[in-house]
Structure 1
Amino acid sequence: GVFEQTRLQLHPGPQALDVRLDGPSLAGKLNVPNADGGTISGQLERVYWQSLPTLPGATAAPARVQAGADDMDPAKLPPFALDIADLKFGKVVLGQAVLRTRPIANGLSVEQLQFRAPSQEIDIRGRWLGKGGGSRTALDAQVRSEDLGGLLQNLDYGGQLRGGSGHAQLQASWPGGPSDFQLGNLQGQLDVNARNGQLLELEPGAGRVLGLLSVAQLPRRLMFDFRDFFSKGFAFNQVEGSVQFGEGMARTDKVLIEGPAANITIRGQADLRKQQFDQTIDVNPRAGNLLTVVGAVAGGPVGAALGAATNAVLSKPLGEIGARTYKVTGPWKEPKVEVIERSRERAPVPAPPPRLPPLPAVPPTVTEPPPPR
C-alpha cells in the first residue's frame, strides 16, 4: 500500500525502534524490537490503505510489489499486535480494528482480526501457509450486522439488498496468499441467516457475489406478473441457507426466502468463472389479502394508483395463481427463465352427493265417524 505525505520520525533505542507516523492517511506509533522474533506492536489513529495500482501513473511498480508478495515467506514474518482506531481499505470502511498474529512452522497464524463499526461486527481467524506457488490461505469469518444492505454497500456490492439484519459465517480457503483471493478459486461454505429486508431489483449483471441468491434480478413474472408492484424490491421476513464453493462453482441444496407475498426456495448452482446460472426456484404464494401483500412487498401504502392497477388482477387472486417451479439457466446478465411445472393446480370442485330417493308418501289417516246411537 501507499500513504502519501506521511512524515516518519524514527527513534532508535537499546531494545527497540520507536516509529512515529503522521499524515492524512496514516498516523500513530509503532514499536519495532531489535531482537529477531520480537512482536511489532502499535497504536494507530488512522490507516487509510490505498493500493498502488489505483494511483495515477502507476505502471511497473505494482508488478514489482506483487512479485515481492508472492515470494514472501509468511513463516519469517514477525508477530504483530496492532490496534487501529479508524481503518479504511480503498472504499471499504472497516472502523476499529485489532490484529494479532504469530508465526508457525510453515507460515503465519492470524489469532485475531477484528473489525468494529456502527451496526456491524466482523471476526476473522486464519492461516497463511507456504510461499510462492505452494502457498495457501484459509480463514473462518463471522459477520454480524444490523444493516446488511449498508454492509454490502460499504464492501462495494451495493444495490442488491436494502436493510436486513442477521449473521453470516464463511469457512474458506484459496491458493496463494491473502491478496490472491479470487471468487472462482474459493473452496468452502457460506451460511447465511438474515431477517427483515428487501432484495432489490438489479441492473443486468449486477449479481456478482449474490448472483446465486438474486431472485430479484429474474424477470418480474416470477413475482406473479404484478409487474409494477415489485419495482422497489422483494420484501423478506427471513433468508436462510448455505452455499458451498469449489471448482469454480457455488452450489446450494436449499436457500429459503420467506416473504409476505411468497416463500421461495432456491437450489442449484452458479458458475463463478463463466457467470452462468443453473438453478431451480420454487415459488409458493402465501394466502392472504391481495392488497395487504402487494402493499407490503411494494414497500409503501396502497395508494389510488396501486388500487386501480390491482383491479386488473383481482380476477387472479393469489390462491388461483398457485405454486410454480422455474428453471433458471444462462448468463447472469440475461438469464433464461422457464416454468417447468405447476406444482399445485386448483382443486376440482367436488361433485354434489347423490340425492336420495324420496320417501314414499304416507296416506292420510281417515277417521271413521262414530256409529249412531
Structure 2
Amino acid sequence: MLNWQKLPELVTVAPEQPLAPLEPQNWLLQMVPLQLNCNDCSIGNYRLGKVQLLAAADGAEWQLQRFTTDYKGSKFNITGVWQPDSALGKSQFNGTFYSPNIGALLAEYQLSSAISGSRSDIGFHLNWPGAPQQFQLSELNGKVQFALGDGSLTEVSDQGARLFSLFSLDSLVRKLRLDFRDVFSKGFFYNKMAGTLTLHQGVAQTSDVSIDGVPGNLSIQGYADLVKRQMDYQMSFAPKVTSSLPVIIAWMVNPATGLAALALDEVFQSAEVISRIQYPSPVVSINPW
C-alpha cells in the first residue's frame, strides 16, 4: 500500500521520428502477478488520486483485471487483455470514465479550456495489434460513446446566436434561477451533448454527435484523422427562436391559449420549421499537441 507516489512524466516519441520495428512480446505470458494500491498517485503533473491495479498472466494471455483511479470524484475504470497470435498479438481494452466536472479536470491537466462544467459519462472499447505498450495511433480501432451534462463551450463564438437564448424555454428555467450565464458569458451554453466515435486505424468518424444548446440544437458529422492531425466535418445548427416569449404572452392573456401556444411551439421545434443553418468545413489541419 502506497500513501503517495509521484512517477516521472512519460516521454513521448516525436511523430517525425521513425519507430523501431515491433516484435512479439511473449514475455508477458510469464509475467508475475502485479498488484498496486496507491492512495495518492500522480504521473508528472497529472494527479490520479487513488489508484488500484491488478494484472496477471496465465500462460495463454496477459490480463489487466483491474485498473481504477478516483480523483476529486472523477472515476476511471478499465479492464483488458493481450492475446498472442502468429504475429504481434492483439490488445483489447474496455472501460468507463465518469467526472462530475470534466471541464475543471481538463483545465487542471492543462489539456483543454474549451469545455466549462459538464458532468461526463464515457464508455470505450479499443483495440490495436501488438502488446499494450506497443500502442500506436495509426493502428487504433474501436468505439467511444460519450454523454455530457449541462455546460458550455467557452471558446466558441456563436455569431449572435446567444440572443436566441432569451426566447428559449430551456433558458427560461435558468432565468428563474437567476442564472444569466448563457446571455452574458462568452461561449455556447448547452444542456447536453452526446455522440459516438468509431475509430479505424487512427481515424475517428461520427455521424450522430448532437448538442442540445440553449440558443439552438447543433449536430455534427465528419471525421478527425488523429495521425495526420486533420479533420473534415459538417455542422448543422437549428436556432431556438420560436420559444418562450409568444408562449409567455399568450399565457398572460389566457392560460388555455398559452397551452395551445406551447403545444404549437413544441411542434414547430420538432418539425424544425425554423431554417437549419449548415456549416460545411473543408479539411483543416489541427495541432492540439
- Per the normalisation by structure 1, the TM-score is 0.56
Match of 2:41 among 87, 95, 114: 87
Q: CA deviation at 1:329?
A: 1.8
| Number of aligned positions between the proteins | 234
**Contact between 2:94 and 2:124, CA under 8 Å: does it hold in 1?**
yes
Match of 1:236 among 190, 200, 212: 190
Equivalent residue for 1:134?
88
Equivalent residue for 2:5?
47
Equivalent residue for 1:97?
51
Match of 2:207 among 250, 253, 269: 253
Matches within 5 A, 1:19-98: 43-51=1-9, 53=11, 73-98=27-52
Equivalent residue for 2:280?
327
Letter in 2 for 1:181: F
1:112 maps to 2:70: no
**Contact between 2:139 and 2:201, CA under 8 Å: does it hold in 1?**
yes
Equivalent residue for 1:62?
none
Write the deviation string for residues 37-56 of structure 1: whole angstroms up to 9, x where unpaired.
Answer: xxxxxx112221114749xx
- Distance in 2 of aligned mates of 1:87 and 1:165: 23
Letter in 2 for 1:276: Q
**Contact between 2:23 and 2:88, CA under 8 Å: does it hold in 1?**
no
Write the deviation string for residues 142-179 of structure 1: whole angstroms up to 9, x where unpaired.
Answer: 11110111232344422121111021001101233333
**Contact between 1:91 and 1:156, CA under 8 Å: does it hold in 2?**
no
**Contact between 1:74 and 1:130, CA under 8 Å: does it hold in 2?**
no
Higher RCO structure (Cα 8 Å, ≥6 apart)? 2
Q: 1:200 to 1:234 in 2, by over 3 A?
A: same
Match of 1:188 among 128, 142, 158: 142
Q: 1:166 to 1:116 in 2, by over 3 A?
A: same
Letter in 2 for 1:193: A
Letter in 1 for 2:3: E
Match of 2:228 among 258, 274, 287: 274
Letter in 1 for 2:51: A
**Contact between 1:193 and 1:240, CA under 8 Å: does it hold in 2?**
yes
- Distance in 2 of aligned mates of 1:48 and 1:68: 29
Q: 1:119 to 1:134 in 2, by over 3 A?
A: same
Q: Secondary structure at the match of 1:124?
A: strand
Equivalent residue for 1:17?
none
Q: 1:156 to 1:184 in 2, by over 3 A?
A: farther
Letter in 2 for 1:93: R
RMSD of equivalent CA atoms: 3.2
Q: Secondary structure at the match of 2:103?
A: helix
Match of 2:119 among 139, 144, 165: 165
- Distance in 2 of aligned mates of 1:333 and 1:163: 24
List gaps (5 residues or longer) in structure 1: 1-42, 55-65, 202-215, 291-318, 335-373
Q: 1:182 to 1:197 in 2, by over 3 A?
A: farther
Matches within 5 A, 1:215-364: 216=156, 220-221=158-159, 224=161, 232-287=186-241, 288=243, 322-333=275-286
**Contact between 1:124 and 1:139, CA under 8 Å: does it hold in 2?**
yes
Letter in 2 for 1:329: P
Write the deviation string for residues 294-321 of structure 1: whole angstroms up to 9, x where unpaired.
Answer: xxxxxxxxxxxxxxxxxxxxxxxxx998
Q: Secondary structure at the match of 2:107?
A: helix
Match of 1:151 among 102, 105, 112: 105
Q: CA deviation at 1:120?
A: 0.9
**Contact between 1:150 and 1:158, CA under 8 Å: does it hold in 2?**
no
Letter in 2 for 1:169: G
Letter in 2 for 1:45: N
**Contact between 2:149 and 2:193, CA under 8 Å: does it hold in 1?**
yes
- Distance in 1 of aligned mates of 2:282 and 2:107: 27
Write the deviation string for residues 267-297 of structure 1: whole angstroms up to 9, x where unpaired.
Answer: 121222222222221100012469xxxxxxx
Letter in 2 for 1:249: V
Q: Secondary structure at the match of 2:32?
A: coil
- Distance in 2 of aligned mates of 1:97 and 1:146: 18
Q: Secondary structure at the match of 2:3?
A: strand
- Distance in 2 of aligned mates of 1:144 and 1:98: 16
**Contact between 1:132 and 1:176, CA under 8 Å: does it hold in 2?**
no
